[in-house]
């Protein structure tokens, strides 16, 4: 048996412990940032501590075996209860040493990593809870009350049979300026004592920090970033914890999804936050969640099941290598059980994922990246159409990382966002696609002065990325940049969001006049069709080719290349008021003046 097989066998044996309980399953599927040298060093020390703990336990049991004259099995489940205490004892000392190192190296802010798909965040103690106010009308919640309590022991857990969308609480915006309710990680996870199983994922990952939110007997599958080889792996990393990594070609790209779920009732969560305390305390993020009830009676598996939320969700779990880590003694025994056992009829949002790799042919291409967005826009009845009766689509794309932009990719993405098939886009000549002007897309990204004036100042801008070499490119769409300001207060955002607005079609001259006016104005607004038509995207996708993919090939045989694993939701917006309420940023966003520049953290003395 190989080392990895032995690790898996050990992990499965450990995860059998106390899985007869029946409360909640939770999932988080995430990624975005690259660990720094100090964190890598710490994780190595952590692994040594775990191995030492296991060795001590095995030696103790071997001695006991010699005295009693009995032999020990290769994996003794009686050891499971003793391992966590030994591990936590070691971890406490390592954590103390690590915190001291972090204070010396970066007292308030994490070191930056590479831009576009990578951020690097600090890990600090969880923030305290606060009283939750009334939710907005867009995503209703149940009438179960919330009660203030400590981070580790919430006394009453809310149930969200209807979807709920909130920003996360941050230490510099308590309470929020806009008065809207927030989520904390403990509210998302629910009662610690109720968790029966979890699937988590993060690229920026503080394993000791997230470990404290779970009972050590709860089996957990952690979907994490692959190493430089990019190979898919399954390994035991903690008692009852299995680490699974998806495949990445040549190790390039990142596993960037965020998601949770629960058993008994199933809780699905799409989040923009990583599993590190910095994301849940200092940076504002966005969380969508919904509780899914069990069916009265399971339904048979249907291999031709409709392309709804559950089907898309199952494809995601297959793609990020969850299936090999499941076994019959877990509450979720097979990915197919998601559709069989739970009732998804109340889920109104559409799931959009990006699966890293090369996708060839329409059956594969249409299920991921911006072509998936195209199909979802059509399902929502938001296709703009072509020709004289077509509607115009205005996009406001907010995020924490800037990509390498061309007019071709802007138009390629805008084409899909209109609900128009890439087939007609690929039918056009390459020269025609490359010569089109930039479409009406606003890139919502913080100005340098906005970061400087935030509560944390420049020290807080270490996970927001735009490079000078991107901004300085001759044909870079600098006139399409708008300031990103939180509605909650003087905080910076790690959220990713798109607000899409339909407006009446205008002639070529009218469009040119409108664009000229926009270029000359710093506070232009879009007049939305009444009744207002629009949609929103919330998830892990930054507005970049790495996240959404790039098209090539032909209309007969399309090819889509994607660097990252991403996940988000799309839902309708009924009117302009709802657009303003759902948006995490102040609307209308303020256009950059000719003197303004984006936040470029590599030029800051703090980074």
DSSP bridge pairs for 200: 222
CB 263 within 8 A of CB 22: yes
Going from the C-alpha of 159 to that of each of 191, 382, 384, 415, 570, the distances in angstroms are 12, 31, 37, 38, 22
Domain count, the chain: 2
CB 207 within 8 A of CB 224: no
| 251 vs 253: CA distance, rounded Å | 7
CA angle 255/7/92 to nearest 5° reads 75
Count of residues making up the chain: 607
Classify 49 as helix, strand or coil: helix
In a domain, 376, yes or no: no
Classify 585 as helix, strand or coil: strand
| Owning domain of residue 313 | 3-36+110-341
In a domain, 229, yes or no: yes
In a domain, 519, yes or no: yes
The DSSP secondary-structure symbol of 481 reads: E
CB 589 within 8 A of CB 445: no
- Residue 419 shares a structural domain with residue 329: no
In a domain, 123, yes or no: yes
CB 239 within 8 A of CB 14: yes
The pLDDT score that the predictor gives to residue 46 is 52
Q: Is the peptide bond before 160 cis (omega within 30 degrees of 0)?
A: no
Closest CA to 254 of 224, 220, 286: 224
The pLDDT score that the predictor gives to residue 306 is 78
CB 123 within 8 A of CB 99: no
In a domain, 225, yes or no: yes
- Residue 336 shares a structural domain with residue 390: no
- Residue 579 shares a structural domain with residue 476: yes
| 170 vs 494: CA distance, rounded Å | 11
CB 448 within 8 A of CB 600: yes
Angular region, 584: left φ>0, alpha ψ -120 to 50, beta rest: alpha
Closest CA to 28 of 240, 251, 366, 280: 280
- Residue 244 shares a structural domain with residue 140: yes
| 91 vs 52: CA distance, rounded Å | 11
The pLDDT score that the predictor gives to residue 453 is 97
Q: CATH number for the domain including 427? A: 3.30.870
Q: Please report the sign of the dihedral spanned by the C-alpha atoms of residue 291, residue 12, residue 205, residue 564.
A: negative
- Residue 136 shares a structural domain with residue 206: yes
- Residue 335 shares a structural domain with residue 212: yes
CB 543 within 8 A of CB 397: yes
The pLDDT score that the predictor gives to residue 1 is 53
Q: Find the radius of gyration of the CA atoms of the chain.
A: 24
- Residue 318 shares a structural domain with residue 434: no
Going from the C-alpha of 87 to that of each of 311, 355, 371, 474, the distances in angstroms are 39, 35, 46, 55
Q: Please report the sign of the dihedral spanned by the C-alpha atoms of residue 585, residue 586, residue 588, residue 591.
A: negative
Q: Which of 341, 360, 393 is the last residue of a domain?
A: 341
Q: Which of 309, 341, 373 is the last residue of a domain?
A: 341
CB 215 within 8 A of CB 285: no
The pLDDT score that the predictor gives to residue 96 is 53
Angular region, 529: left φ>0, alpha ψ -120 to 50, beta rest: beta
Q: Please report the sign of the dihedral spanned by the C-alpha atoms of residue 398, residue 401, residue 402, residue 408.
A: negative
- Residue 314 shares a structural domain with residue 396: no
In a domain, 561, yes or no: no
The pLDDT score that the predictor gives to residue 212 is 93
In a domain, 94, yes or no: no
Closest CA to 161 of 146, 185, 143: 143
User: Is residue 258 part of an annotated ligand binding site?
Assistant: yes
Q: CATH number for the domain including 203? A: 3.30.870.10
- Residue 437 shares a structural domain with residue 580: yes
User: Is residue 341 part of an annotated ligand binding site?
Assistant: no
In a domain, 363, yes or no: no
| 392 vs 578: CA distance, rounded Å | 19
Q: Which of 341, 375, 406 is the last residue of a domain?
A: 341
CB 94 within 8 A of CB 42: yes
- Residue 455 shares a structural domain with residue 322: no
pLDDT under 70 in the chain at which residues? 1-156, 250-263, 303-304, 388, 505-532
- Which active-site residues does the annotation give? 256, 494
- Residue 319 shares a structural domain with residue 391: no
Report phi then psi at 532, rounded to 5.
Answer: -55, 135
CB 28 within 8 A of CB 267: no
- Residue 328 shares a structural domain with residue 437: no
The pair of structure tokens assigned to 70 is 């009995």
Q: Is the peptide bond before 588 cis (omega within 30 degrees of 0)?
A: yes
């Amino acid at each position: 048996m190989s080392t990895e097989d032995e690790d898996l066998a050990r992990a499965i044996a450990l995860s059998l412990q106390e899985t007869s309980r029946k409360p909640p399953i939770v999932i988080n599927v995430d990624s975005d940032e690259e660990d720094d040298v100090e964190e890598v060093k710490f994780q190595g020390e952590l692994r040594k501590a775990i191995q030492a703990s296991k060795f001590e336990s095995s030696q103790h049991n071997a001695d006991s075996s010699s005295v009693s004259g009995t032999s020990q099995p290769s994996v003794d489940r009686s050891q499971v209860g003793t391992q966590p205490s030994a591990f936590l004892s070691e971890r406490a000392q390592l954590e103390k040493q690590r915190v001291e190192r972090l204070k010396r190296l970066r007292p308030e802010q994490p070191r930056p990593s590479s831009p576009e798909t990578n951020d690097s965040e600090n890990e600090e103690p969880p923030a305290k809870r606060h009283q939750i106010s009334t939710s907005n009308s867009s995503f209703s919640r149940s009438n179960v009350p919330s009660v203030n309590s400590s981070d580790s022991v919430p006394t009453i857990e809310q149930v969200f049979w209807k979807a709920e969308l909130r920003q996360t609480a941050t230490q510099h915006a308590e309470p929020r300026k806009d008065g809207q309710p927030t989520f904390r990680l403990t509210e998302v996870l629910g009662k610690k004592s109720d968790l029966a199983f979890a699937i988590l994922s993060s690229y920026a990952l503080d394993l000791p920090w997230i470990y404290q939110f779970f009972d050590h007997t709860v089996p957990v599958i952690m979907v994490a970033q692959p190493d430089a080889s990019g190979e898919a792996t399954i390994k035991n990393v903690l008692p009852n914890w299995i680490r699974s990594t998806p495949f990445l070609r040549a190790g390039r790209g990142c596993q960037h999804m965020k998601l949770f779920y629960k058993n008994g009732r199933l809780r699905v969560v799409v989040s923009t936050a990583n599993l590190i305390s910095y994301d849940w305390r200092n940076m504002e993020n966005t969380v969508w969640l919904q509780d899914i009830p069990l069916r009265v009676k399971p339904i048979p598996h249907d291999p031709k099941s409709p392309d709804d939320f559950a089907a898309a969700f199952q494809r995601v779990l297959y793609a990020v290598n969850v299936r090999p880590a499941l076994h019959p003694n877990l509450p979720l025994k097979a990915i197919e059980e998601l559709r069989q056992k739970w009732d998804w009829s109340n889920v109104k949002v559409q799931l959009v994922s990006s699966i890293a790799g090369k996708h060839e042919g329409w059956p594969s291409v249409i299920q991921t990246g911006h072509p998936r967005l195209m199909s979802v826009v059509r399902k929502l009845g938001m296709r703009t159409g072509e020709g004289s009766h077509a509607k115009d689509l205005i996009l406001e794309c907010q995020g924490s990382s800037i990509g390498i932009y061309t007019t071709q990719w802007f138009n390629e993405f805008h084409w899909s966002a209109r609900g128009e098939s890439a087939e007609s886009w690929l039918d056009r000549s390459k020269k025609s696609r490359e010569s089109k002007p930039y479409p009406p897309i606003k890139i919502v990204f913080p100005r340098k002065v906005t970061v400087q004036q935030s509560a944390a100042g420049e020290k807080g801008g270490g996970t927001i990325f735009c490079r000078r070499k991107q901004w300085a490119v001759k044909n870079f769409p600098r006139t399409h940049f708008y300031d990103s300001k939180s509605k909650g207060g003087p905080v910076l955002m790690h959220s990713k969001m798109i607000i899409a607005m339909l407006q009446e079609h205008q002639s070529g001259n009218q469009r040119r006049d409108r664009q000229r006016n926009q270029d000359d104005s710093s506070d232009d607004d879009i007049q939305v069709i009444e009744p207002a038509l629009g949609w929103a995207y919330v998830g892990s996708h930054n507005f970049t080719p790495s996240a959404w993919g790039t098209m090539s090939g032909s209309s007969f045989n399309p090819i889509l290349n994607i660097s990252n694993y991403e996940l988000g939701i799309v839902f309708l917006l009924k009117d302009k008021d709802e657009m303003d309420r759902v948006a995490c940023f102040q609307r209308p966003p303020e256009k950059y003046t000719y003197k303004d520049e984006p936040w470029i953290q590599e030029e800051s003395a703090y980074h």
